[in-house]
């Protein structure tokens, strides 16, 4: 990797870290960059996942104030993210990359619809609760299963898992969007961190390849981008943030369908 290529990967890491902190889908910047530089898709995917972990952590740290009082919620939903990430990472190492080619764009599209109609659905749910319907502050078993499924997807590829997570959280939990964005960042950090640990163990066992140069460059860039993205994302009004989510999601669908 020459200086120009290294600069491109570093810049992609900064952009990905910022987008992940605000919305999700940062992998749609770093993953294609690595592929364009000649890395095999699976090697690019694994290296990208490991490199983005520090950016996920810095993004979650940037939302530490919003995460105050979320310990029970994080522990419960985090268990689903952890289990899902292990399953998704194992699938990546055993299934062909084309396995999710049809499922992934459809999943993102559904998530975007949920983001758009989220205010109406929240109003409907709030009406039911005021009418005496039971309220689960942790979202109940359906949300846990949804986070588990998102963890499987995140461990396998991960692009736009943040969009899916914020849609699930927004529909299932009656809370401020910025708080939910902080929870989303924490869940994404758990997924990527778990998958990265699995991939590292598999690399030590000779079961997969990792480009550690790419990992370091993406890690440095995404850490800076995650902190910057969290600062910007916490200042965005809910309506604008929802618009950013939809815009990035549409780009993600086009990217996945045309590559």
Q: Any idea where the domains of the chain sit in the sequence?
A: 3-257
Gap between the Cα atoms of 170 and 212, Å rounded: 36
CB 193 within 8 A of CB 57: yes
The three-point CA angle 199-164-189 to 5° equals: 40
- H/E stretch holding 37 reads none
Mean pLDDT for back-to-back runs of 10 residues, the chain (259 residues): 90 87 79 87 90 87 84 91 95 79 76 74 61 61 92 85 83 80 90 94 93 95 86 71 74 74
Identify whether the C-beta of residue 166 lies closer than 8 Å to the C-beta of residue 19.
no
* Cα 128 to the center of its chain, rounded Å: 30
Three-state SS for 228? Answer: helix
d(CA 219, CA 209) in angstroms, rounded, equals: 17
How many CB atoms sit inside 10 A of residue 186's CB? Answer: 26
Q: How many CB atoms are closer than 10 A to CB 134?
A: 7
- Provide the pLDDT for residue 95: 80
pLDDT in the model for residue 211 = 95
Question: Which three-class secondary structure state does DSSP give residue 249?
Answer: helix
Positive/negative CA dihedral, 183, 188, 191, 192: negative
C-alpha distances in angstroms, 203 versus 30, 39, 45, 128, 188? 20, 16, 13, 50, 22
pLDDT confidence of residue 241: 66
pTM, two decimals, is 0.81
CA distances from 27 to 79, 119, 204, 214 (A): 23, 28, 24, 13
* pLDDT computed for residue 130 by the predictor: 60
């Amino acid at each position: 990797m020459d200086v120009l290529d290294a600069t491109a990967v570093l810049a992609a890491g900064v952009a990905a870290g910022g987008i992940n902190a605000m919305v999700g889908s940062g992998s749609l910047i770093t993953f294609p960059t690595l592929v364009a530089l000649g890395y095999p898709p699976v090697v690019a995917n694994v290296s990208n996942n490991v490199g983005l972990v520090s950016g996920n952590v810095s993004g979650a740290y940037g939302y530490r104030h919003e995460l105050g009082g979320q310990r029970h919620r994080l522990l419960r939903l985090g268990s689903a993210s952890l289990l899902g990430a292990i399953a998704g990472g194992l699938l990546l190492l055993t299934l062909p990359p084309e396995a999710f080619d049809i499922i992934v764009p459809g999943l993102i599209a559904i998530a975007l619809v949920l983001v758009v109609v989220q205010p109406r659905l929240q109003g409907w749910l709030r009406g039911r609760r005021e009418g005496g319907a039971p309220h689960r502050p942790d979202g109940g078993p359906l949300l846990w299963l949804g986070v588990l499924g998102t963890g499987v997807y995140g461990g396998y590829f991960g692009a736009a898992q943040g969009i899916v997570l914020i849609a699930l959280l927004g529909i299932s939990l009656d809370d401020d969007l910025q708080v939910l964005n902080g929870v989303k960042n924490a869940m994404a950090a758990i997924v990527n961190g778990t998958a990265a640990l699995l991939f590292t163990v598999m690399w030590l066992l000779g079961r997969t390849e990792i480009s550690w140069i790419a990992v370091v460059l993406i890690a440095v860039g995404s850490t800076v981008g995650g902190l910057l993205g969290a600062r910007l994302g916490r200042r965005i009004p809910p309506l604008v943030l929802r618009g950013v989510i939809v815009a990035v999601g549409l780009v993600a669908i086009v990217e996945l369908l045309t590559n």
